[in-house]
């Protein structure tokens, strides 16, 4: 396993007072958003957010069809401008979301060299399953039977494992995200816990590597609401000794800024967690939930 400890040498012996934090948002520099950072900042301020991260997409599945490096360069410039614009009103963190970094590790490494990022999110939005490589958000799972769905999810968790073991990132995003579309959008009733062994393996790796687990709230406004991961997975993470947790709305539009953050905080307190964390210069800072 690669050694990325240069970003993980910390001793979290201090917890700062509670503030509202949103560690996962997107701007018009992501392929699936049209939101200026300034609009997101103003919306976050109205919600009472003290800190939010702009984590625009670097998705390996789009590498052949989109100039992802230019997107990230533009994102960094926009973040810097808005850090100055909103100085004293809200703290804006400079982030990036590495999607499918294991598909091309060299290119993912180059992306991290584009800026001095505060936080790097690792995620899997697409799976190399048979002849399907498009993002699972674009798959209509209502057209497929249970066998396909479980086979696809099985490969998804394998790709998550590969990323967790090999990529350089700080936060594991939306661990059970395909089920947002399988169950939340398409109304299936697939059992996430069929993959408990693989989920435990992934959690073990990120605990060892001191990578945070994200609670992603973007599925809470679906017809069939879903939080990623759910309470069962959070209980497993806690029982395994996991303590680093972040909360992200994954907002791609200003109206979704900080959506579900309060709900996630209450869920985490109920599950026995006393803090979440934010990242500055890729170092976690614990924030009290009380």
pLDDT in tens, 94-139: 999 999 999 999 999 999 999 999 999 999 999 999 988 889 999 9
* Residue 116 main-chain phi, psi, to 5 deg: -90, 85
CATH number at residue 205: 3.20.20.140
Pairing of strands 91-99, 119-123: parallel
Mean pLDDT within 182-192: 93
pLDDT at 132: 87
Query: Domain of 214?
Result: 5-288
Mean pLDDT within 259-264: 97
**CB count, 10 Å around CB of 166?**
15
How many Cα neighbours within 13 Å face the side chain of 282? Answer: 18
* Residue 36 main-chain phi, psi, to 5 deg: -65, 145
d(CA 154, CA 196): 11
Mean pLDDT within 139-153: 94
Quickly state the pLDDT bin for 223 (edges 50, 70, 90): confident
* Residue 95 main-chain phi, psi, to 5 deg: -130, 175
| Whole-structure pTM value | 0.95
- Quote the number of domains for the chain: 1
pLDDT at 63: 67
d(CA 127, CA 155): 7
Q: Is 181 a residue whose pLDDT tops 70?
A: yes
Looking at every residue in the chain, the average pLDDT score rounds to: 93
Mean pLDDT within 178-207: 96
d(CA 227, CA 164): 21
pLDDT tens per residue, range 246-255: 999 999 999 9
d(CA 249, CA 37): 15
Give percent helix, percent strand, percent coil of the chain, each to the nearest 5.
40, 20, 40
Identify the burial level of 140 via C-beta atoms within 10 angstroms of its C-beta, where 0-12 means exposed, 13-18 middle and 19 or more buried: exposed
pLDDT tens per residue, range 12-29: 568 999 999 999 999 999
The CA-atom distances, in angstroms, between 232 and each of 23, 100, 160 are: 22, 25, 18
Percent of the chain with pLDDT over 70: 94
Quickly state the pLDDT bin for 1 (edges 50, 70, 90): very low
Higher local confidence (pLDDT), 16 or 11: 16
């Amino acid at each position: 396993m690669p050694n990325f400890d240069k970003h993980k040498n910390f001793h979290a012996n201090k917890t700062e007072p509670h503030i509202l934090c949103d560690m996962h948002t997107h701007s018009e520099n992501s392929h699936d958003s049209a939101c200026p950072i300034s609009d997101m900042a103003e919306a976050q301020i109205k919600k009472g957010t003290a800190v939010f991260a702009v984590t625009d997409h670097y998705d390996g599945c789009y590498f052949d069809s989109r100039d992802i490096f230019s997107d990230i360069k533009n994102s960094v410039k926009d973040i810097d401008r808005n850090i100055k614009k909103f100085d004293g009103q809200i703290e804006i963190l400079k982030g990036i979301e590495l999607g499918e970094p294991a598909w091309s590790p060299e290119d993912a490494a180059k992306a991290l060299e584009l800026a001095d990022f505060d936080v790097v999110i690792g995620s899997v939005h697409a799976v190399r399953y048979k002849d399907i490589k498009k993002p699972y958000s674009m798959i209509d799972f209502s057209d497929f039977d249970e066998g396909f769905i479980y086979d696809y999810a099985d490969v998804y968790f394998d790709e998550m494992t590969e990323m967790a073991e090999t990529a350089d990132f700080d936060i594991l995003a939306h661990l059970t995200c395909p089920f947002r579309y399988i169950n939340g959008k398409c109304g299936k009733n697939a059992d996430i816990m069929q993959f408990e062994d693989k989920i435990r393996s992934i959690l073990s790796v990120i605990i060892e590597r001191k990578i945070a687990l994200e609670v992603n709230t973007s599925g809470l406004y679906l017809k069939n609401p879903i939080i990623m991961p759910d309470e069962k997975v959070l209980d497993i993470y806690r029982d395994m000794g996991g303590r680093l947790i972040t909360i992200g709305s994954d907002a791609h539009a200003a109206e979704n800024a900080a959506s579900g953050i309060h709900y996630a905080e209450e869920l985490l307190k109920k599950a026995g967690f006393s803090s979440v964390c934010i990242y500055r210069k890729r170092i976690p800072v614990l924030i009290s939930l009380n």
